[in-house]
């Protein structure tokens, strides 16, 4: 009776995915295609929008900023998330549940509100600067917003759950006996970490890193509020072109480049890691 739940009838899988696929087609694929077609037709047919984007030092700098910020955020997020995920995997389940609740709760809070909170904390007269000055670590307030530091702090905070969750999933599945075996064979703690745990956790790091990097590439709110214009990222450029200048050709071209980069990274990840993990 429940035969439709078994994987044997493969054809029905596509059928069940149909509503979602149709929805994506109508509300994602078609609008994106329309925007992309504008990038080669507005204001006149041709590739001039791409020439402008890829031929000017200013726009190349925006591409560079986008990759720099996304790369930094991914790296720092991974460094912080790894020990957290590891600790979550080995601590008693009840305690892990409480910490998960805290992590998820932060995800459910409005993004804008969280970013404003960082603005208030990090500004010249903010809590962080006042604490550092009160403890005598600095005697002048340091610049923590409107620059790369501000964007990185704000985005790492927002991206952490997206790295912790896949890492936790992978680390949890690693048999603790393997680490014991490593110790029995004479591996020091750092050897066990580098040569046993890290390689086994690599698929989790890779999928978390891809998710964080790709999400960062298209981020708007946090860079806009915590970064200065000198650190402008691609999403901000698209908003300017589409909203302020009504130049949808340029906006479409920038969006298309972003899409191509994202798909290329996804393909690369599939090639490098999916094969090994399965």
Does the footprint of other proteins cover residue 244 (CB under 8 A)?
yes
Residue 148 tokens, joined: 């790369």
Burial class, 99, CB count within 10 angstroms (exposed 0-12 / middle 13-18 / buried 19+):
middle
- Listed in sequence order, the residues at least 6 apart from 71 whose beta carbon sits closer than 8 Å to its beta carbon are 213
Q: Kindly provide the residue ranges of all beta strands, DSSP E only, lying in the chain, ordered along the sequence.
A: none
Smallest gap from residue 217 Cβ to other proteins (A): 17
Which among 21-29, 154-162, 203-211, 235-243 is the span making contact with other proteins, rule CB under 8 A? Answer: 235-243
Q: Do 233 and 62 meet the contact criterion of CB atoms below 8 Å apart? A: yes
Where in 146-165 is the site for other proteins (CB under 8 A)? Answer: 146
Q: Which of 110, 125, 140, 190 binds other proteins (CB under 8 A)?
A: 125
Could you give phi then psi for residue 191, rounded to 5 degrees? Answer: -65, -40
156 vs 250, beta carbon nearer other proteins? 250
Least distance between other proteins and beta carbon 107 (Å)? 24
- Nearest-approach distance from CB 164 to other proteins, in angstroms: 31
Residues 54-83 that bind other proteins (CB under 8 A): 56, 58, 61-62
Residue 228 sits in the site that holds other proteins (CB under 8 A): yes
Q: Which of 250, 209, 243, 248 minimizes the C-alpha distance to 224?
A: 243
Q: Does 230 bind other proteins (CB under 8 A)?
A: yes
202 binding other proteins? (CB under 8 A): no
Torsion sign (Cα): 180, 181, 182, 184? positive
Residues engaged in binding other proteins (CB under 8 A): 56, 58, 61-62, 123-125, 145-146, 224-225, 228-230, 232, 237, 240, 242-248
């Amino acid at each position: 009776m429940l035969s439709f739940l078994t994987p044997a009838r493969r054809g029905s899988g596509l059928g069940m995915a149909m509503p979602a696929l149709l929805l994506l087609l109508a509300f994602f694929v078609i609008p994106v295609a329309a925007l992309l077609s504008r990038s080669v037709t507005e204001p006149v047919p041709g590739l001039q929008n791409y020439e402008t984007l890829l031929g000017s030092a200013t726009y190349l700098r925006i591409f560079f900023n986008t990759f720099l910020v996304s790369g930094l955020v991914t790296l720092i997020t991974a460094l912080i998330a790894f020990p957290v995920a590891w600790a979550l995997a080995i601590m008693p389940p009840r305690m892990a549940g409480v910490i998960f609740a805290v992590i998820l709760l932060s995800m459910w809070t409005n993004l804008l509100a969280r970013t404003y909170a960082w603005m208030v904390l990090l500004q010249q007269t903010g809590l962080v600067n006042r604490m550092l000055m009160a403890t005598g670590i600095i005697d002048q307030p340091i610049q923590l917003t409107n620059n790369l530091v501000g964007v990185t702090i704000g985005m790492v905070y927002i991206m952490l759950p997206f790295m912790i969750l896949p890492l936790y999933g992978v680390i949890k599945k690693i048999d603790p006996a393997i680490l014991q075996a490593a110790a029995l064979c004479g591996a020091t703690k750092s050897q066990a970490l580098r040569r046993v745990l890290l390689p086994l956790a690599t698929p989790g790091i890779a999928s978390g890193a891809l998710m964080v990097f790709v999400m960062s590439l298209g981020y708007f709110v946090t860079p806009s509020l915590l970064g200065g214009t000198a650190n402008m990222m691609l999403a901000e450029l698209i908003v300017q072109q589409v909203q302020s200048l009504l130049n949808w050709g340029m906006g479409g071209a920038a969006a298309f480049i972003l899409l191509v980069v994202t798909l290329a990274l996804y393909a690369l990840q599939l090639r490098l890691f999916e094969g090994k993990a399965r």
